[in-house]
Chain A
């Protein structure tokens, strides 16, 4: 079945003077997915969100959101999107309830639905007890939760979350992660998560785009990206230190092993070897070679590359 694409961009470009903030971005985001846009500060993540919402004009290329051109039909696009900005951007003199109520009116939520929706969101985000207080007195976590509630008040189909857990404590972070999972599981929402928190992206995103200097240098699932960067498997082996020398010789001689390193703390009985194995099929043979060489193996663990490995490998390619 052809996936239903919510966002497509083709060579999307935006410049600020001499700086190219988004440089020829081409991507497609499917309905219902949690799509991560990863990158350092200044990589072009926020500018991409602005372009996709039609709050910034496009210099070259094109974008379609819900099949609409955000530059010309920004109002129609923004009616169906919700954006959590990097800073909560709340009106701190107003109460939580007032913040939600006023933003609901901006999105033309029917008057009769505003109060029940606001109450529900305030309950969901555990802010109901202090909903009548000015937001200026809230903690950072509470403000972030309220900003999220505000993002959802008009029940958007497409949600952009720019660093949603920045500065939050672990409990608040988990709550936000749970919410993103809930939103993605109901099939009604598509989430675009802009983050430089790679662990967060690994946990939540089905696919990611890695941005560097305005360009998307990689696009796909974390596993696809890893496969595109590394043909082999990274392997970690814990060996008895006393028998390690002959075992390491065997590893280094093996045709499928490369970049073998050894780390053994002086007062520990075991040490750790790390290496790359060119073909996953060679793993059993490698283990047999170790044992045959007299090595006593405590742990033999092929490592799936993390998104962090992928990200830094890409970063080194782009910024030598």
Chain B
């Protein structure tokens, strides 16, 4: 494996992303809204949300889906503190996964379909890089920045929610073990899901926008997690996250195995 060529490919694709405002801006704005402004506001105003009419019933539903020990723990806390924990630790957990998914799929759409659109693929194909090196280079181009953005978002989220909820909580309550599992075990394959789905979509599309739009369906599993959590059908515990992560890793492995089989020069060049 020629790592120098892989590094050059990743550098090239990342420079293109960094210099494309249409791609870069959404990748900055979305995490800032989702992981800074929204949770900051919610953590700050959680007590007011707890006092809202009907809030008791909604949260009762979520609490009932939790294990008894968690319910007992919440029974010892004030309603405002419970509200903050529910929102910050549980409600935002599935939403957080949208970040690695979205960043990875955006970069991958640019790297695979965007390459065809910019008509730069043919020159790349004539280089002495192997098919595997091209695939690995493009995967890392999307995966590593997605993880970096995820990690930065996680740190920002922690700082913002701890600061905003300090008057209510009076302590550093974030991150807990569940979030550590989320960041270390679930977020990496979630990013992998975004980019591997985009490899499949890009094989059939010829533009960044087209690939990005079709590939957006990949956020559906995360939306289902979110709905399950909010509706009280499911409680996002460590055990559930371990299973979710495992499922994501297995899906990634299956798609990557298939991608490696279809990612060949002659297939790509025949479609130019």
Contacts and interface: CB of A to CB of B under 8 A. Distances in A.
Interface of A: 16, 50, 53, 55-57, 74-76, 78-79, 81, 83, 85, 87-94, 98, 102-103, 105-108, 134, 147, 150
Contact of B270 (A56, A74, A87, A91): A56
A111 B118 CA distance: 28
Given A16-B270, A50-B269, A92-B118, A55 B126 contact: yes
B7 interface: yes
Contacts of B89: none
Q: Do most interface residues of chain B lie in helix, strand or loop, or is the interface mixed? A: helix
B265 A55 contact: yes
A263 B169 CA distance: 103
B2 interface: yes
7 contacts: A55-B125, A57-B266, A89-B121, A93-B20, A106-B8, A108-B4, A108-B128
A76 B129 CA distance: 10
Given A55-B126, A105-B7, A108-B4, A87 B269 contact: no
B266 A105 contact: no
Interface stretch (B10-18, B96-104, B189-197, B244-252): B10-18
Nearest to A80: B128
A50 B20 CA distance: 31
Interface in B1-37: 2, 4-5, 7-9, 11-12, 15-16, 19-20
Interface of B: 2, 4-5, 7-9, 11-12, 15-16, 19-20, 118-130, 265-266, 269-270
Contacts of A57: 266
Contacts, number: 82
B127 A93 contact: no
Contact of B2 (A81, A85, A92, A108): A108
A83 B8 CA distance: 19
B12 A91 contact: yes
A157 B129 CA distance: 18
B5 A85 contact: no
Contacts of A76: 128
A94 B128 contact: no
Contacts of A93: 15-16, 19-20
Nearest to B11: A102
Given A16-B270, A108-B2, 14 more contacts: A55-B125, A55-B266, A75-B130, A78-B128, A87-B119, A88-B123, A91-B12, A93-B16, A93-B19, A93-B20, A94-B19, A103-B127, A105-B7, A108-B128
Contact of B5 (A53, A55, A91, A108): A108
A85 B269 contact: no
Contacts of B130: 75
Contacts of A90: 120, 123
Q: Which 6 A-B pairs have the closest CB atoms?
A: A105-B8, A89-B123, A106-B127, A78-B128, A93-B19, A83-B126
A291 B97 CA distance: 96
B16 A91 contact: yes
A91 B120 contact: yes
A89 B120 contact: yes
Contacts of B16: 91, 93-94
